[in-house]
Amino acid sequence: MSRKPVIGIAGTLDTTPATSPFSAWKRDITNEAYTSSLVKAGATPILLPVVQSEIENLLDLCDGLLFPGGGDIHPCFYHTEKHGLCGETEERNDVFQLELFKEARKRNLPVLGICRGAQLINVALGGTLHQDYSLRSPTSLKHNHYQAVTEGFHTINLEQDSQLSKCFNNPSLWVNSLHHQQIDTLGTGLHIAAICEDGGIEAIEGKEGPYLLGVQWHPEAMMRSSEEMLPLFTCLVEKALFTIHNKRYS
């Protein structure tokens, strides 16, 4: 019998609460909204801790990868000075996740990036970011709408014939918006899969090669109120089934 695909979630080093006796040390975390969404889509999720020396061994365990939301990527990774509007950065997360992504691509693993994860895909492939969306356009729509986590806040238009539009079979979607940075120039081999009404990039995907999709919104948080975003996770899991098949017959 076929096993369930294992989806590795790229870990994030985060601060430990000051009340803990271990508050001086960071924690490897993920939000359970990611793990529960992957379980609903038929996968076994595993958290990949930020251990640089174990990237190859960690990837041996995975049939696909999810790069989650998180803090800002240090602009040095896209060769730019840090702007005053850039948020807090943790370079160990950046270094680990960028290397994890590059190694996953070499192995042809399917990848889904969410929010920071989409930005990370773009940076890993040589693209750049707006360090705050107001720097792209001062009249842009509000994107740092942190009050309504589970509900749609603005619409996006999906590119015709994109993998994303095939995934949803719909030309537009209502999405939440919990980001203050945005994709600027596209990385190599990427194209735009969705755009917001103010012109901001809301999704990117790989032109060819293994499945690669990055979305700027938070589908895992929307999964807390409806299953409208489930196709994003099931598309990843379906691609990961091919990884299992290929491992078996290679």
User: What residues are annotated to the active site?
Assistant: 115, 218, 220
What is the Cα–Cα distance from 89 to 94, expressed in whole angstroms?
8
Backbone φ, ψ for residue 94 (5° rounding): -60, -50
Could you give the residue ranges of the DSSP H alpha helices within 87-162? 91-106, 116-124, 133-136
Binders of Mn ion among 146-205, rule CB under 5 A?
177
Q: Which is nearer to Mn ion, 33 or 118 (CB)?
A: 118
- Name the segment binding Mn ion (CB under 5 A); options: 9-17, 119-127, 143-151, 187-195: 143-151
Q: Which is nearer to Mn ion, 27 or 180 (CB)?
A: 180
Residue nearest Mn ion (C-beta atom) = 177
Q: How far is the CB of 194 from Mn ion (least distance, A)?
A: 10
What is the Cβ-side half-sphere exposure of residue 44, based on CA atoms within 13 angstroms?
10
- Residue 143 interacting with Mn ion (CB under 5 A): yes
- Residues sharing a CB contact under 8 Å with residue 57, sequence separation 6 or more, in sequence order: none
What is the Cα–Cα distance from 149 to 210, expressed in whole angstroms?
31
Query: How many residues bind Mn ion, per CB under 5 A?
Result: 2
Q: Which is nearer to Mn ion, 101 or 217 (CB)?
A: 217
- Name the segment binding Mn ion (CB under 5 A); options: 57-65, 101-109, 140-148, 159-167: 140-148
Q: How far is the CB of 143 from Mn ion (least distance, A)?
A: 4
Cα separations in angstroms, 119 against 30, 61, 107, 122, 183: 17, 24, 21, 5, 6
Q: Which is nearer to Mn ion, 39 or 141 (CB)?
A: 141
Q: Are 179 and 133 in contact (CB under 8 A)?
A: yes
Q: How far is the CB of 65 from Mn ion (least distance, A)?
A: 23
Binding site for Mn ion (CB under 5 A): 143, 177
